[in-house]
């Protein structure tokens, strides 16, 4: 079904592993199409509660496919950027948490792919960066915007304008990654985070994600009103009643996702 990634569901976790080793998992059109299909499956499959996205070999994703981009004219390049943005926005809008387990190179489109995820766990040997100015272009899959929101305007310029690479430990310091662990601990850590999230009320987790994502682009007054609407959605759920009753009865809640 997929030519450039592996897809597996196990115990409520969808594992999406980028698998285009000869190109260091670079994002060409076919790979973007694979990602679109995979995340559509994640959305519609009720068995899936959390997604872990990682890469096979020594790269998470080493970038967009330069061999493909080199042949594109301005009109074709625009269409390619629209496709990349559509996939990144699809991941960001997924109603389930997405954890990027960044195991190596996360450059260009790979850095942008990681930033579209909700949480980034970096290996100590991970390498983030936006090297596009070396190629006469700029980040085009949302990198100028998401990096700014994660690390601030000045630091985003500092990284993008120099094509500066950021190692895993520094990425954590900057806020580009939420955690940085030894390579052998990467997947166990990502799975631990996934299982912890899965133990919480799924409707509440989904509403927290949308409240944060949408609210970040709104003024405080409008964002606060949006938070109230998200909270009201939780109050109308059976899980809200179960969670509060379980707390008062000093027992574990049994979530129904209703």
Which residues have CB under 8 Å from 192's CB, separation 6+?
none
Alpha-carbon distance of 15 to 8, in angstroms, equals 5
Work out the number of other CB atoms within 10 angstroms of the CB of residue 179. Answer: 16
DSSP H helices, the chain, are: 29-44, 66-69, 74-93, 109-116, 143-151, 153-162, 168-174, 186-198, 202-215, 220-235, 238-248
Question: For position 13, what pLDDT does the model report?
Answer: 98
* Domain boundaries of the chain, sorted by first residue: 5-198, 202-248
pLDDT at 85 over 90: yes
Please write the tens of the pLDDT for every residue from 173-188: 999 999 999 999 999 9
The pLDDT score that the predictor gives to residue 196 is: 98
Res. 1 pLDDT band, cuts 50 70 90:
confident
Give 64 or 133, the one with higher predicted confidence: 133
Question: Matching CATH topology for 5-198 and 202-248?
Answer: no
Question: By C-alpha distance, which of 69, 83, 97, 74 is closest to 193?
Answer: 97
* CATH top class, domain 5-198: alpha beta
Query: For the segment 8-33, what is each residue's pLDDT rounded down to a tens digit?
Result: 999 999 999 999 999 999 999 999 99
Give yes or no for residue 240 having a pLDDT over 90. yes
249 included as an active-site residue: no
In the block, residue with structure tokens 């009720």:
46
Per CATH, which fold does 202-248 belong to? Lyase 2-enoyl-coa Hydratase; Chain  A, domain 2 (1.10.12)
Is the pLDDT reported for residue 53 higher than 90? Answer: yes
Instruction: State the pTM of this model.
Output: 0.95
| Per-residue pLDDT tens digits for 71-80 | 999 999 999 9
Could you confirm whether 76 is annotated as catalytic? no
Q: Give which of 193, 186, 185, 201 is closest to 252, Cα–Cα.
A: 201
Phi/psi of residue 202, each to 5°? Answer: -60, -35
Asked whether residue 47 carries a pLDDT value surpassing 90, the answer given is yes
Structure tokens at 23: 């190109």
By DSSP bridging, strand 13-18 and strand 5-10 are antiparallel
Q: What is the pLDDT of residues 189-239, one digit of tens each?
A: 999 999 999 999 999 999 999 999 999 999 999 999 999 999 999 999 999
State how far the Cα of 171 lies from the Cα of 165, in Å rounded to an integer. 10
Which of these is catalytic: 11, 41, 92, 112? 112
Q: Which of 30, 68, 132, 242 is catalytic?
A: 132
Residue 245 has pLDDT above 90, yes or no: yes
Q: What is the pLDDT averaged over residues 114-140?
A: 97
């Amino acid at each position: 079904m997929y030519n450039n990634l592996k897809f597996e569901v196990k115990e409520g976790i969808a594992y999406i592993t980028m698998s285009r080793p000869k190109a260091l998992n670079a994002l060409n059109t076919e790979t973007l199409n694979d990602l679109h299909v995979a995340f559509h499956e994640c959305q519609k499959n009720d068995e899936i509660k959390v997604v872990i996205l990682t890469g096979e070999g020594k790269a998470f994703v080493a970038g967009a496919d330069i061999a493909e981009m080199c042949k594109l004219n301005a009109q074709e390049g625009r269409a390619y950027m629209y496709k990349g943005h559509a996939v990144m926005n699809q991941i960001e809008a997924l109603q389930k948490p997405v954890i990027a387990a960044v195991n190596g190179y996360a450059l260009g489109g790979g850095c942008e792919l990681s930033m579209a995820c909700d949480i980034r766990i970096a290996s100590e040997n991970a390498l983030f960066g936006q090297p596009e100015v070396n190629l006469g272009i700029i980040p085009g899959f949302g990198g100028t915007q998401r990096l700014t929101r994660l690390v601030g305007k000045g630091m985003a310029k500092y990284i993008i304008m120099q094509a500066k690479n950021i190692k895993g430990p520094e990425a954590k310091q900057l806020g580009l990654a939420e955690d940085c662990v030894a390579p052998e601990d990467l997947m166990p850590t990502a799975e631990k985070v996934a299982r912890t999230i899965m133990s919480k009320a799924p409707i509440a987790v989904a509403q927290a994600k949308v409240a944060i994502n949408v609210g970040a682009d709104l003024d405080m007054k409008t964002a606060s009103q949006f938070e109230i609407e998200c909270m009201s959605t939780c109050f109308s759920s059976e899980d809200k009643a179960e969670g509060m009753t379980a707390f008062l009865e000093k027992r574990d809640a049994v979530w129904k996702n209703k």
